[in-house]
Structure 1
Amino acid sequence: MRPALAVAACAAFLFTAGCSSGDDGQPDRARSSAPATDGSGTSSTSPKPADTPPAKGSVSVVRTVTEDLKSPWGLAPLPEGDLLVSSRDEGTITRVDTETGKKTEVGSVPGVAPAGEGGLLGLALSPSYASDHMVYAYFTTESDNRIARMIYDEKKSAGEQLGAPDTVFKGIPKGTNHNGGRIAFGPDDLLYAGTGETYRTELAQDKKSPGGKVLRLTPDGDPAPGNPFGDSPVYSYGHRNVQGLAWDKDKRLWASEFGQDTWDELNDIVAGDNYGWPEAEGEGGGSGYHDPIAQWHVEDASPSGIAYAKGSIWMAGLRGERLWRVPLDGTKAAHDPQAFLEGKYGRLRTVVAAGGDKLWLVTSETDSRGNPGKGDDRILELRVS
């Protein structure tokens, strides 16, 4: 068990519950809140070592990079500074010039079958992108969720720059909701994927199923050497719906997770650990489960993408419509999480580190029912501390 920090959303020890909605916009979850402690009754405001980030940070919106995007989901920064962004519902990938905001469709991904929360989701560049120009995509088909890679040839005409997809991993359960979808290459150059249990809660504890897991694969899609369960892609299990993956400066993996009845979570991911779903949600689930380091009411979070910058995890909230900062002290929260941009840009889907104190942030006004929400979707450039 690890110590956990709960976020105070109300006055001390005031518990509340009510209907809520997450990524799918449907009322399926109630939430409660509790004051922040380190799990032993010690306040999270106790003195921290000098190398931990301060209790309070800052966020400023430098500019809107581009707007009028259609159901953006995944984001992959290119080496020269531009961005690739996926459209969940259109099944296309668009290149965004980060200086001018110009959008150029580079191609569509064959076989994408958008429905509900499914469609063209996460993007990642190959660790050898400079030589192989491979773009990886996680997407929903008529039969499953899968990961494929495509050559991105910038010399071809717009709309025809993506090569035919080469499927590297398939058979991830699909559903109307809880498809997971985030992929990222780690510091070890291995491919990690966050998946969902598609409302079939038993899949999360079934180590033979890739649903409700964090998966760890080679770039070719094979189970990575050293995985905790032998020749299996499963790296951690007991997850409900993982849509955020990021590594800190010490190469520790972090993941965000949608809860159901009580807590949304931020977890430090340890190989082979069980994160409790559906038997446990939030901290205190039992000695066999790994506790989150922070947890939220769904109305304050419904977490999707995460990024690491300036000693903190930054977490995009969908229903919460805010960006959370969680300052880290090793595998604990150094201080209470801090919220920014609340209600200013609508639902927030993806946040990606852009070096130093800079982040890219993607809004997500279109929900799983295709409703456009309050306005168009955009990419923002942020400066954080």
Structure 2
Amino acid sequence: MAPADFLRDYWQKRPLLIRNAFTDFVSPIEPEDLAGLACEEAALARIISHDRPRDAWHVRTGPFEEDEFPGMPHQDWTLLVQDVDKWDADIAALLEHFRFLPRWRIDDIMVSFAAPGGSVGAHVDQYDVFLLQAQGHRRWQIDASDSPPVDFRNDVELKLLREFNPTHDWLLGPGDMLYLPPGVPHHGVAEDACLTFSVGMRAPSAAELLGDFVDTLAAEADDRLRYRDPDLAPPADPAEIDVEAINRAVEALNMLRMNDPDRLGDWFGRFITLYRSAGEVMPSGPERSRIEIEWDLDQGARLVRHPWSRMAWRSSGREGRLFASGQVLPLPASDAACIANGTALDGEAYRALTQTGRDVVFDLYRAGHYVLDTDEGDGDLGG
């Protein structure tokens, strides 16, 4: 299917099951790798267990101890680890298949291992998700009706649906993928020991957008902009807040509106490259001089972007704006596009930048957004 057809007919409209989306798919990681990652201090991991006789659900958060996993039950539990694309370069490489979507819309790849019968219960997500079966088999049921019930149970710590009436039932094997738009109730149960990759989108709520927007307006507001009433007349009741007072309050708020498209664009770029960031970009290892960096690039080295560094760009007339984990960096649009799109910069790409672009890259390197990779075979991006 052409990406334009998918976006027109399915994106945020209706589910789509794609058989053999990845032909002859072989998982880049094994369950043992996922268990090892779940033991890392910085990893976001959970184990969800289901007690079927009592229909009770239990959630534990990591990090976990390595010796826990050999003693786990043979059924009815799931290990979930967020942001695996930030830890494993082979998992991150899967995102290249989703370039038909804005990169800044993609949040992470969550990987789950489920023992037979393992599940996280019937639930609903408020964001788009692609569910790629990596190993084993998982049965997915969805409710694609027009107005599905979405009330939650109040007896579990998970947001599980109180009522679930599936309209579709599919068994997915390795390479099969299910796309679900926001708001579609779904329930996945492992038929055998299996791995599932969930490519989830960033979808800030209106409340989150408004909260950050208002904070930005307030921080940048001129203190001289205030509630004013030069047209005040003697009130009929001095204790009453009349309609005119409310109108003046609205007028005061309207003075803070961000009518400048550039200011609005800069706010959104900063916001979306910070939104839902679970990790922090920090320099690691000894800092090298610019001369050393450029010499290494000429010898075949690459500047590899830190896995937690999120970048996007936009055009602003002849100039561009690069957004890097909440920063806004003015530079030529061609440079901004090159830097934002490249998970790694080799010598050729670096030399193609303007002097301003190269200055920005070096500043980003010093801030930890890049690490110097002198070995092309080294695919470990760290975490």
TMscore range, shorter length: under 0.3
Higher relative contact order, structure no. (Cα contacts within 8 Å, ≥ 6 residues apart): 1
Larger radius of gyration: 2
Higher helix share: 2
TM-score normalized by the length of structure 2: 0.24
